[in-house]
């Protein structure tokens, strides 16, 4: 038997034909090596073989016999040695969000620095380009490599212990399963103290029935040791809402954020929550936790009053203690709570600290996350349970296909394989993922195929309205008389804008583990809607929600797409097999079984008077949705309509929903109006804006960008890098989910029509900023993601099926696609905090489209704008000047 050395240890290779990735993960348990595509397109599986980066999914284990392999777990050397400079730099730069890509990037960066101790930006981008970061942390990763180079030059200062502010994660397994899910129990029934020890529990009750989005409130526990454990139904999919929520609790309770732990994503322990979507973490969970923490502070002040002797008015909370302002006596919370088992359910709103008076929240706070850079962060696909089996599901070849017959004999004959049939559902389980895939492929199935899908999607959506029900309700609003105003306009401009179906492409494909025990079901799955998944499982299996626990471990990206089908599949297979089962979708399943961002068809008509003022606006959105289509400019006559359509392809929520499509249409059209009015696009917008918050971000972005009025489309080229290039600048604004965004973009176009985005500046305002570092990270990552949809991302179809269901067939932004990014963050402590995960995306596409117009004179009205990197020859839909 041949062997290799892995992280300094010699290992026998039992199956030389297995992929190196499978060998490292399944046989050696080195789950820091991630799978993301299986075809060499994502870089998540990168390891070092004799010091060179290698994609482990593309090598058989036997091919590297006799070699030395280094994975992220061994990058720093043996335990107790200092972390590698790359690992320390990635932590210091907070260069990850979900962290799924981080191990592969870290080892590749280490190889780069070993070969070139001082690489420039271009060398770093080129070397790391095989690795994808769907969260868009590229600028921070490049900064981290520079920092690592400096650290390596200046010497090692040793492995940092838990850095200041680092809170050891709370092992959920240490919290025993309660008899009933806590969100279904009255506070008096809950066994708070058996789990967390003596102390104080404060409950902020659920929102009133009928309010939306419904929240189950919040609760927290202050221990006799002075640590705080807060519970929320929101989950963290890499957006780092956990740090912001900890800061809000720390602020109200006057404790160090490092002393606050957050329990998220466990339906047995956390308050009910409708889901982590719509940028609601701060408005929902943030506000509820603030109140619970402020209530706890008031209780602690009350407990301290008789012991400190001074009047209540002279007491204050500070640094985990109650202090008497008259005597200066200090009583730590721990002393107040020793031997206490007190539960307080708040009946009225406690006094809250105004954001303008925040001393902890509102400041950059970086919670170091070493687990992302050491391979110790375990995603669902990394978890193991005793007796775990691996599942695979028989898939239909196209949406709408009906199963006629299935012969499972060949699969059943395979050693160790169990076939599970449950109505229309057919799946298999096996002892390893490869055998499960081979077994499901061995099933001989016959299908009744549906007619091929429509070739002309725009025409189909226009002619197939959907039933007006559920969340897909038509919307129509009107002010003044837009038809009369359009007829009377001095200049009319009308055009149609379209956006493509998009895929979410989380780097970790959907995964779930299900385990049945004594009639109760536990599911570990990466989802943004754990309580909805609980309800879905309850409905599917006809058991009470009481008997179902959904736990959300770290998630390798979601972007609105992970809604729980894989949890139902795992639970079906686990019930049939009588063992815990993991279902982990392949990349092809991710494209074919997941739903897509809806395609948009948007008709816009607008009119100007002789003075160049907007007098009429009429927008019809077909299929995408009503988010972000409110017109932010002053116009006396307007009509806004959303018409749902019966999409031929499965579609659903995607980060920022329809606000991206509607803002693209609106801001492209405003730019066209400014052009025909002969006005500067910045001045034209400001002249029509009443929203002072929107005007402020627009002016902030324009100032940082260095906006110069008076450009001419396709004006004078400049000689750059050996060729003539045309520079174009564009801007756009957007309003969504309580935030205000403005984006300025610069593009460079050459004589062949090839266009490159060279610079983007985003100004964002989301009320009172809780953690500036997280908000900036979200703006940067969101901008990168939006660039993909703006420039080249698009799901295409052949006969109604996804044409290229792979990462090699669906381009997402990589290191070398990222332009210079700059962020202007406006803080408004006088306004409620809004989210930052979605709105920063929405003005990117129109800003780039407007910049392309400025550079080339070509008005591009379909996303993606540049699928082949060039301005399409045929692209000139609609016309700018009607009369």
By beta-carbon proximity to ligand FES, the closer residue of 55 and 112 is: 55
Minimum distance of ligand FES from residue 6's CB (angstroms)? 17
Site for ligand FES in 27-66 (CB under 6 A): 35-38, 40-45, 55, 57
Q: In terms of CB distance, is 242 or 353 closer to ligand FES? A: 242
The residue (of 91 and 203) whose beta carbon lies closer to ligand FES is 91
Tell which one of 101, 513, 614, 755 touches ligand FES (CB under 6 A): 101
DSSP-assigned letter for residue 505: -
| Residue 503 to residue 226: CA distance in whole angstroms | 45
Judge whether 75 and 110 are in contact, CB under 8 Å: yes
Q: Would you say 97 or 593 has its CB closer to ligand FES?
A: 97
Whichever of 55 and 600 has its CB closer to ligand FES, that residue is 55
On whether the CB atoms of residues 34 and 587 are closer than 8 A, the answer is no
The rounded distance, in Å, linking the Cα atoms of 447 and 424 is 12
Token pair of 634, please?
């002053």
Residue 588 main-chain phi, psi, to 5 deg: -65, -40
Q: In this structure, are strands 862-863 and 491-499 parallel, antiparallel, or unpaired?
A: parallel
Q: For ligand FES, give the closer residue by CB, 42 or 486.
A: 42
Report the site for ligand FES in 63-92 (rule: CB under 6 A): none
Site for ligand FES in 480-499 (CB under 6 A): none
H-assigned helices in 179-286: 192-196, 241-253
Considering the complex, state which of residue 238 and residue 607 has its C-beta at the smaller distance from ligand FES: 238
Residues 6+ apart with CB under 8 A from 693: 740, 765, 828
As a whole number of angstroms, the distance between CA 54 and CA 390 comes to 26
CB of 236 to ligand FES, least distance (A): 12
Q: Does 137 bind ligand FES (CB under 6 A)?
A: yes
How many CB atoms are closer than 10 A to CB 469? 9
**Which H helix or E strand runs over 69?**
strand 68-70
Q: Are strands 797-798 and 801-802 parallel, antiparallel or unpaired?
A: antiparallel
Considering only 62-70, 112-120, 129-137, 529-537, which stretch makes contact with ligand FES by CB under 6 A?
Answer: 129-137
- Taking the complex as a whole, the smallest distance from the CB of residue 55 to ligand FES amounts, in Å, to 4
Q: Which is nearer to ligand FES, 87 or 627 (CB)?
A: 87
State the sign of the Cα–Cα–Cα–Cα dihedral 291, 294, 299, 300: positive
Residue 99 binds ligand FES, judged by CB under 6 A: yes
Q: How far is the CB of 238 from ligand FES (least distance, A)?
A: 5
Binding-site size, ligand FES (CB under 6 A): 25
Q: Is 135 in the site for ligand FES (CB under 6 A)?
A: yes
How near is the Cβ of 525 to ligand FES at its closest, in Å?
17
Q: Report the relative pairing of strands 68-70 and 46-49 from DSSP bridges.
A: antiparallel
Angle, vertex CA 452, rays to CA 446 and CA 458, nearest 5: 150
Complex with ligand FES: residue 372 or 855, whichever CB lies closer? 372
Structure token digits, residue 356: 């303008």
- Indicate the residue among 24 and 135 with the shorter CB distance to ligand FES: 135
- What's the order of all strands across the beta sheet hosting 520-525? 418-422, 425-430, 389-393, 581-584, 511-517, 520-525, 548-551
Q: Does 864 sit behind a cis peptide bond, omega within 30 degrees of 0 on the bond before it? A: yes
In the complex, least distance from residue 43 CB atom to ligand FES, rounded to whole angstroms: 5
Does 308 sit near ligand FES (CB under 6 A)?
A: no
Cα distance between residue 242 and residue 254, in whole Å: 18
Pairwise CA distance, residues 805 & 706, whole Å: 42
Closer residue to ligand FES in complex, CB, 43/819 = 43
Which tokens is 503 given? Answer: 């895929």
Among 23, 100, 595, 764, binds ligand FES (CB under 6 A): 100
Q: Are 882 and 490 in contact (CB under 8 A)?
A: no
How many angstroms separate the CA atoms of 883 and 184, rounded?
A: 64
The residue among 29 and 357 lying less far from ligand FES, judged by its C-beta, is 29
At closest approach, how far in Å is the CB of 45 from ligand FES? 3
Give the x/- contact pattern for ligand FES in 341-380, rule: CB under 6 A. ----------------------------------------
Question: DSSP per residue over 815-828, as a string?
Answer: GGG--EEEEEEE--
**135 vs 701, which CB is nearer to ligand FES?**
135
Kindly state the smallest distance separating residue 762's Cβ from ligand FES, in Å: 19
- Pattern 663-702, ligand FES, x by CB under 6 A: ----------------------------------------
Select the residue interacting with ligand FES from 4, 6, 20, 98 (CB under 6 A): 98
Q: Helices (H) and strands (E) in the chain — how many of each?
A: 22, 35
What token pair was written down for 9? Answer: 């240890």
The pair phi, psi for residue 820, each rounded to 5°, is -65, 130
CB of 139 vs ligand FES, minimal distance in Å: 12
Of the ranges 94-102, 518-526, 831-839, 856-864, which one interacts with ligand FES (CB under 6 A)? Answer: 94-102
Q: Which of residues 227-246 bind ligand FES (CB under 6 A)?
A: 238
Say whether residue 317 binds ligand FES (CB under 6 A): no
Token pair, residue 695, equals: 């005007």
Q: From the list 7, 70, 96, 321, which residue makes contact with ligand FES (rule: CB under 6 A)? A: 96
Among 134-142, 200-208, 268-276, 643-651, the segment contacting ligand FES (CB under 6 A): 134-142
Minimum gap (Å) between residue 41 Cβ and ligand FES: 6
| Residues 505-564 close enough to bind ligand FES by CB under 6 A | 507, 557
**Minimum distance from CB of 285 to ligand FES (Å)?**
21
Q: Minimum CB separation from ligand FES for residue 807, in Å? A: 7
Give strand pairing partners of 596.
Answer: 651
Is the distance from CB of 370 to CB of 83 less than 8 angstroms?
yes
Rounded to the nearest whole angstrom, what is the least distance from the CB of residue 653 to ligand FES in the complex? 19
Within residues 150-169, the interface with ligand FES by CB under 6 A covers none
* CA 495 from centroid of its chain's CA atoms: 32
Residue found under tokens 């419904």? 214
CB of 53 to ligand FES, least distance (A): 11
Rounded-to-5 percentages of helix, strand, coil across the chain = 30, 25, 45
User: How far apart, in whole angstroms, are the C-alpha atoms of residue 629 and residue 631?
Assistant: 6
Q: Which CB atom, from 377 or from 685, has the smaller least distance to ligand FES?
A: 377
Residue 509 vs 615, nearer CB to ligand FES: 509
List interacting residues with ligand FES (CB under 6 A): 35-38, 40-45, 55, 57, 96-101, 133-135, 137, 238, 507, 557
């Amino acid at each position: 038997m041949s062997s290799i050395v892995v992280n300094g240890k010699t290992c026998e290779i039992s199956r030389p034909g297995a992929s190196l990735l499978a060998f490292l993960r399944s046989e050696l348990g080195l789950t820091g090596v991630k799978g993301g595509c299986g075809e060499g397109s994502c870089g998540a599986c990168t390891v070092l073989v004799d010091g060179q980066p290698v994609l482990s999914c593309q090598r058989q284990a036997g091919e590297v016999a006799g070699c030395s392999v280094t994975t992220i777990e061994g990058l720093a050397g043996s335990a107790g040695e200092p972390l590698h400079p790359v690992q320390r730099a990635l932590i210091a730069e907070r260069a990850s969000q979900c962290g799924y890509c981080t191990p592969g990037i870290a080892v590749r960066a280490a190889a780069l620095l070993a070969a070139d101790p001082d690489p420039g930006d271009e060398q770093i981008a080129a070397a790391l380009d095989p690795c994808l970061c769907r969260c868009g942390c590229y600028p921070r990763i490049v900064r981290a490599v520079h920092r690592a180079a400096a650290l390596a030059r200046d010497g090692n200062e040793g492995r940092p212990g838990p850095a200041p502010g680092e809170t050891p994660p709370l092992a959920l397994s240490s919290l025993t399963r309660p008899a009933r899910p806590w969100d279904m129990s009255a506070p008096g029934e809950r066994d708070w103290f058996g789990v967390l020890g003596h102390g104080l529990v404060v409950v902020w009750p659920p929102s009133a029935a009928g309010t939306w989005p419904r929240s189950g409130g919040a609760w927290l526990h202050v221990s006799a040791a002075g640590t705080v454990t807060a519970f929320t139904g929101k989950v963290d999919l890499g957006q780092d809402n956990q740090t912001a929520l900890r800061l809000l609790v720390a602020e109200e309770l006057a404790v160090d954020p490092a002393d606050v732990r957050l329990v998220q994503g466990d339906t047995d322990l956390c308050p009910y929550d409708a889901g982590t979507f719509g940028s609601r973490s701060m408005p929902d969970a943030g506000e509820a936790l603030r109140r619970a923490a402020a209530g706890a502070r008031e209780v602690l002040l009350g407990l301290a009053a008789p012991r400190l002797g001074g009047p209540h008015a002279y007491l204050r909370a500070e640094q985990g203690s109650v202090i008497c302002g008259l005597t200066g006596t200090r009583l730590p919370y721990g002393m107040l709570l020793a031997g206490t088992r007190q539960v307080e359910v708040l009946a009225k709103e406690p006094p809250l600290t105004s954001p303008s008076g925040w001393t902890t929240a509102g400041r950059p706070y970086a919670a170091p996350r070493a687990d992302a850079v050491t391979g110790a962060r375990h995603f669902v696909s990394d978890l193991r349970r005793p007796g775990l089996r691996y599942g695979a599901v028989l898939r239909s070849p196209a949406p709408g296909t009906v199963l006629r017959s299935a012969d499972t004999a060949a699969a059943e004959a395979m050693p160790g394989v169990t076939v599970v049939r449950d109505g229309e559902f057919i799946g298999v389980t096996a002892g390893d993922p490869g055998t499960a895939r081979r077994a499901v492929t061995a099933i001989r199935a016959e299908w009744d195929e549906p007619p091929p899908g429509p070739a002309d999607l725009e025409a189909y959506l226009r002619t197939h309205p959907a039933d007006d029900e559920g969340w897909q309700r038509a919307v129509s609003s009107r002010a003044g008389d837009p038809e009369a105003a359009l007829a009377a306009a001095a200049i009319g401009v009308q055009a149609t804008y379209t956006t493509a179906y998009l895929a979410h492409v989380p780097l970790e494909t959907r995964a779930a583990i299900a385990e049945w025990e004594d009639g109760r079901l536990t599911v570990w799955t990466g989802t943004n809607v754990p309580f909805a998944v609980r309800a879905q499982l309850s409905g599917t299996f006809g058991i009470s929600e009481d008997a179902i626990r959904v736990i959300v471990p770290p998630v390798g990206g979601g972007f609105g797409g992970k809604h729980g089908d894989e949890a139902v599949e795992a639970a079906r297979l686990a019930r049939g097999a009588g063992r815990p089962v993991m279902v982990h979708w392949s990349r092809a399943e991710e494209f074919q079984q997941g739903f897509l961002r809806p395609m948009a068809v948007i008709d816009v008509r607008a009119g100007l008077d002789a003075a160049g003022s907007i007098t009429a606006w009429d927008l019809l959105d077909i299929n995408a949705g009503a988010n972000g289509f409110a017109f932010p400019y002053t116009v006396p006559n307007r009509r806004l309509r959303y018409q749902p359509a019966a999409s031929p392809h499965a579609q659903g929520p995607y980060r920022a929903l329809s606000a991206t499509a509607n803002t693209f249409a609106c801001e492209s059209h405003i730019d066209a109006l400014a052009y025909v009015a002969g006005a500067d696009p910045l001045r034209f917008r400001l002249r029509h804006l009443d929203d002072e918050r929107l005007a402020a971000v627009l002016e902030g972005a324009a100032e940082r960008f260095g906006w110069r009025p008076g450009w001419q489309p396709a004006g004078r080229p400049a000689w750059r890098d050996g060729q003539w290039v045309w520079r174009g600048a564009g801007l756009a604004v957007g309003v969504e989910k309580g935030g205000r965004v403005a984006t300025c973009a610069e593009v460079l176009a050459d004589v062949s029509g090839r266009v490159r985005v060279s610079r983007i500046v985003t100004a964002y305002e989301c009320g009172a900023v809780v953690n500036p570092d997280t908000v900036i990270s979200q703006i940067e990552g969101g901008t990168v993601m939006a660039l993909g949809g703006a420039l080249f991302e698009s799901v295409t179809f052949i006969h109604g099926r996804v044409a290229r269901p792979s990462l090699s067939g669906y381009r997402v932004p990589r290191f070398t696609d990222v332009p210079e990014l700059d962020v202007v963050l406006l803080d408004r402590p006088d306004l409620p905090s809004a989210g930052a995960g979605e709105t920063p995306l929405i003005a990117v596409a129109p800003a780039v489209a407007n910049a392309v117009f400025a550079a080339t004179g070509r008005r591009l009205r379909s996303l993606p704008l540049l699928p082949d990197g060039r301005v399409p020859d045929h692209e000139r839909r609609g016309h700018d000047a009607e009369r």
